[in-house]
Amino acid sequence: MSGKSAILILVLGLATTLLNLAILVGQISTPATARAGTSASKFLDDDDFTDGLTKIIRKTVRDYCTVGKRSAIDC
């Protein structure tokens, strides 16, 4: 390995480490309640999201019950 490529690898490693450190500091400085609470409430307030989620759950249950009847599982 030549000297230039070794220096490039060290610089990239240092840059990655500093970026990860900055992300970690941002995560630690923001309270967990502020991160989780706002994003969850935004999803649950979105009618398109809740309608889509309801549709997926109903289809999953319907598929499970269809397969369950073949396997003698009572739905």
pLDDT tens digits along 35-55: 555 566 677 777 888 888 889
Determine the Cα–Cα distance for residues 43 and 49; give it in Å rounded to an integer. 6
Q: If you count DSSP H runs as helices and E runs as strands, how many of each does the chain have, helices first?
A: 3, 0
| Global confidence as pTM | 0.41
pLDDT band at residue 67, thresholds of 50, 70 and 90? Answer: low
Determine the Cα–Cα distance for residues 12 and 10; give it in Å rounded to an integer. 6
CA atoms lying within 13 Å on the CB side of residue 55:
6
Helix (H, G, I), strand (E, B) or coil at 72: coil
